[in-house]
Structure 1
Amino acid sequence: MAASLKRLDLEYVDLVFAHRPDRQTPIEETVRAFNHLITTGQALYWGTSEWNADEIAQAWRYADKLGLIGPLMEQPAYNMLNREKVELEYAHLYRETGLGLTTFSPLNKGLLTGKYKNGIPDDSRFAQTDVPFIKDFLSKNPKEKWDPVIRQVNSLEPIAEKLGISQGTLALAWVLANPNVSSAIIGASRPEQVFQNVKALEAVEKLTPEILKEIDELLGNKPAEITQRF
């Protein structure tokens, strides 16, 4: 950590992530290690990335038992096509621990921009079939899996047009409209993409309960709500 701070030319970071769970190390040890970074002034808080709900809950049990700080932020993938973990699995953690989310892949590798509605453009990410990651993804998503997803994404185009925004902006705004999402990690290969991404901040207010319901009905993938009994 000290070497990282030196390279960043910082005395401390606000938040440090346990990037992916280390299931070969006891969670208590992980909790102690990240609290050491906090007590030595190298970080203010710590969070997790791609941990499951039980692992985060265990971390909080050890933190409470030891009088330490539990993970305050989780970094999961979250987008219109990938909802289960954020909306269902973590549901009790927002209430019980105040967990916040810094989500990644809000456009699901660009699929939610609508650019693939008529096939794979030559200048798009998935046209780079010599890249190992792309080659692997396409091999796991043949036509019979790809086409239904594209039809699902295409069904959102009329909503974006009605709101006067691009499909990419709609997808980003949808993520930010979730009250448990603190921020969304974005990427861009061209300046105009940055502009479209930033416009999502203004578009959030356009996502009324009626629009969100319409999106849910089109996608048909909203996780069932958990009923609590007290």
Structure 2
Amino acid sequence: MEFRYLGNSGLKISEVSYGNWVTHGSQVEADAAKLCVNAALDAGITTFDTADTYANTAAEVILGDALEGQRRESLEIFTKVYFPTGPKGPNDTGLSRKHITESINGSLKRLKTDYVDLYQCHRYDYETPLEETMQAFADIVRQGKALYIGVSEWTADQLRAGHKLATELGFQLISNQPQYSMIYRVIEGEVVPTSKELGISQVVFSPIGQGVLTGKYKPGEPPPAGSRATDPNGGSNFIQRLLADDLLERIQNLLPIAADEGLSPAQLAVAWVLQNDNVATAITGGSKPEQVKDNAAAAGKKLSAETLARIDEALGDAVERDPQRTYETSPKTRLV
């Protein structure tokens, strides 16, 4: 495993991390989830990402149980706040001081830890003053409940405004968690250049495109039994837009490139995002220990300029690059 600094900080994290977005508490039962976490630890992964909203808090509980007994100082545990949790009342969502304060306390209890290494705004909250949100995060850092603060799917302008307030309030905003993969590159035009200027790293999710970049989904064929696309509790709604035959045909062209590199298709996809020097870690999932191990093996792999060009040629105009997509990810009103 290789390690990278997270933003302009002294914190190092594993460049392949383990996240439990659509698995723990939904697609994968607790015993299987623990096996996946153990496989991640065995592969040298020290960084674990979750959120209070995943499986309506159940994912945090399962991750806390799975990591219990590990040396806390040797782990980096990330979680997030914003989306509805609990009974999903009017204050059970968003980035108000009330919701942030209550959410961090609940997350720490579920994760069985006194602090998280990184606490993240899961989206931008258009209904709460940014000053209120950042002041609440400043207080959480001073209380020792979070060491660093990050965000997720913020635009370049939002990152700039948040970073300015964080600096004025005396804490570090060091990361952004966007979707990023070979087929989804919307952060490259605006978010990455701004982040480099501000000392913010990308903690990217879906580097394998919800599993589509493994090549297991074939054009003109039904999804494989047991895959995410067939599991209503495993994020099938997220993957449907990626199952168009024209995209799947292009992805099949990546398979010989992976073979030439001595990598599995999943490893090629993870290695690709790690070629971006603004990426601190690629969050990978997996419902089976062997998938976790395979993903982790992408750490440290270097792709030549020739290989990167072959990938671009194979995917062509199927790549999504519109920066507007980042703006569209944050709801403009609270989800209740």
TM-score using structure 2 length: 0.59
Between 1 and 2, higher relative CO (CA 8 Å, sep ≥ 6) is seen in 2
Q: 1:10 to 1:105 in 2, by over 3 A?
A: same
Q: 1:46 to 1:215 in 2, by over 3 A?
A: same
Which of structures 1 and 2 has the bigger CA Rg? 1
What corresponds to 2:118 in structure 1?
A: 15
Work out which of the residue numbers 310, 313, 321 in structure 2 matches 1:214. Answer: 310
Is 2:189 the partner of 1:189?
Answer: no
> Mapping of 1:122-161 within 5 angstroms?
122-128=225-231, 130-131=232-233, 133-134=235-236, 138=240, 146-161=244-259
> Which residue identity does 2:114 align to in structure 1?
E
SS, match of residue 109 in structure 1: helix
In the TM superposition, residue 134 of structure 1 has moved relative to its aligned partner by 2.3
Work out which of the residue numbers 182, 186, 201 in structure 2 matches 1:80. Answer: 182
> Which residue identity does 1:165 align to in structure 2?
L
Determine if contact 2:152/2:178 at 8 Å carries over to the other structure: yes
Gaps of 5+ in 2: 1-103, 323-336
Is 2:205 the partner of 1:109?
Answer: no
Q: 1:49 to 1:222 in 2, by over 3 A?
A: closer
What corresponds to 1:26 in structure 2?
A: 129
Mapped partners of 1:195, 1:74: distance in 2: 25
Provide, for residues 104-158 of structure 1, a one-character-per-residue CA deviation record: whole Å limited to 9, x for no partner.
Answer: 1111111000001252212322133x559525753x56xxx70111012111111
Ranges of 4+ aligned residues in structure 1 off by more than 3 Å: 130-133, 135-138, 221-224
What corresponds to 1:55 in structure 2?
A: 158
When the two chains are superposed, the root-mean-square deviation of aligned CA atoms in Å is 2.3
> Which residue identity does 1:186 align to in structure 2?
T
What percentage of residue pairs aligned between the two structures are identical?
Answer: 40
> Mapping of 1:28-47 within 5 angstroms?
28-47=131-150
TM-score using structure 1 length: 0.84
Determine if contact 2:118/2:148 at 8 Å carries over to the other structure: yes
Gaps of 5+ in 1: 225-230
Q: What is the count of residue pairs matched by the alignment? A: 215
Mapped partners of 1:117, 1:200: distance in 2: 23
Determine if contact 1:216/1:222 at 8 Å carries over to the other structure: no
Determine if contact 2:138/2:169 at 8 Å carries over to the other structure: no
Q: 1:166 to 1:136 in 2, by over 3 A?
A: closer
Determine if contact 1:94/1:100 at 8 Å carries over to the other structure: yes
